Amino acid sequence: MRPGAAPMPELTYIEAINEALREEMRRDDRVFLMGEDIGAYGGAFKATQGLIDEFGAERVRDTPIAEAAIIGTAVGSAIVGMRPVCEMQFADFVSCGFDQIVNVAGKLHWRSGLAAPITVRLPAGGGVSGGPFHSQNPEAWFMHAPGLKVVAPSTPADAKGLLLAAIRDPNPVIFIEHKALYRRARGEVPAGDYETPLRARVVREGSDLTVIAYGAMVHTALEATQDLDASVEVVDLRCLAPLDTETVLASVRKCSKVLVVDEANEVGAAGAYVAAVIAERAFDDLDGPVRRVAAAQIPIPFAPQLEAATLPDAGRIREACLDLLEY
């Protein structure tokens, strides 16, 4: 904080998202919102609560249940000058709009020079007993598709700053919001206008071991390593595509040991790519194997006991860290 500045207001993660949307809609009349039940109801998670009162139903648009059309019409409106922000009611439902994101939006600029500045907000993640269709972390699907940016904030301040950056970005941005953070994550959020760069951030400096995470797993990683008898650096990726390899590799080279954490299913995950980059480009700097902790390769179960056995938690992260520190 700047010396002498007033203390920043504390907001929850979802309040920060709501604030970013509201401020950007005030600032830029091209920005509008689309999604299922986002108007009078305020969205399934209330991210858009109150916005219809200020901006009206033309700019806070309730849509039919039609994910392909939500994303495809967003592209259409964007190429004639609008800045749409789409909400998928749950990240899981984005599979119904996958084709429009991957084939229409993602490839458009490279193949034609026409940009598609759209933002698609995805309430993602488990830990809420959502079961197989309300708990997924689909970020890797979109990392694999060229032309998309994939952003995943872990704190309220980043949720606001990254969302403002996403809306202003001239490219299609997949914005991953972790549902479990919506009301649990609370923190200082700068008032007014700022953009958070689409780069990774070192959350806690350390020298013995790097733990790389994003989204809710940043908090789990911090918790898991706070009492370890070692100096553990925690890196929050924040932007998964394009990946900030510079920050990742710098941290790995400093600490020589690395654990990569995903809440997503382990196969072909964001962390799998991060691990591959490290193995390929920092092998000589490593004093141990690149280790990963991720969700088991199964649909995310409903019952709390089964879900807990599937998703990474502080215990598994701590155990993996202790193993690595032995090398």
Partner 1 sequence: MTPPHDLEHEAPTRAVSLQAAPGSSHDHLDLDDRRRLLHLMLTTRAIEERGLLLYKQGKVPGSFYDGRGQEATAVGATYALGADDPVCPLIRDMGAHVVKGTSTAGILGQYLGRAGGVSGGREGNVHFGDWHRGVIPMVSMLPDMMVVATGMAMGFRMRGERRCALSFFGDGATSRGDWHEAMNWAAVQQLPVIFVLENNQLAYSTPLTQQFRVNPVERAAGYGMPAVTVDGNDVEAVFDATREARLRALDGGGPTLIEAVTMRMHGHGAHDDAAYVSPEVLAAWQEKDPIVRQAQRLSALGVDVDAVADEVKAEVADALAEALAMPVPDPATILDGLYCESEPQIVGRGDAPWSGHGDEAWGGADA
The residues that touch partner 1, with contacts defined as CB under 8 A, are 32, 58-59, 63-64, 66, 68-69, 72-82, 99-100, 103-104, 107-115, 117, 146-147, 149, 170-171, 242
Spatial distance between the Cα atoms of 314 and 234, rounded to a whole number of angstroms: 13
The smaller minimum CB distance to partner 1, of residues 63 and 256, is found at 63
Residue 173's nearest CA partner among 198, 209, 207 is 198
Distance of closest approach, residue 87 Cβ to partner 1, in angstroms: 16
Distance of closest approach, residue 67 Cβ to partner 1, in angstroms: 8
The three-class DSSP label of residue 250 is: helix
The smaller minimum CB distance to partner 1, of residues 51 and 295, is found at 51
Count of residues making up the chain: 327
The smaller minimum CB distance to partner 1, of residues 104 and 212, is found at 104
Q: What sign does the dihedral 200-179-148-299 (CA atoms) show? A: positive
Place of tokens 């991957």: 102
User: For 55-66, what is the HEC assignment?
Assistant: HCCCCEEECCCC
Cβ contact 215:162 at 8 Å = no
Task: Count CA atoms closer than 13 A to 41's CA, side-chain side.
Answer: 12
Give catalytic residue positions: 134
The smaller minimum CB distance to partner 1, of residues 101 and 290, is found at 101
Distance of closest approach, residue 68 Cβ to partner 1, in angstroms: 5
Distance of closest approach, residue 83 Cβ to partner 1, in angstroms: 10
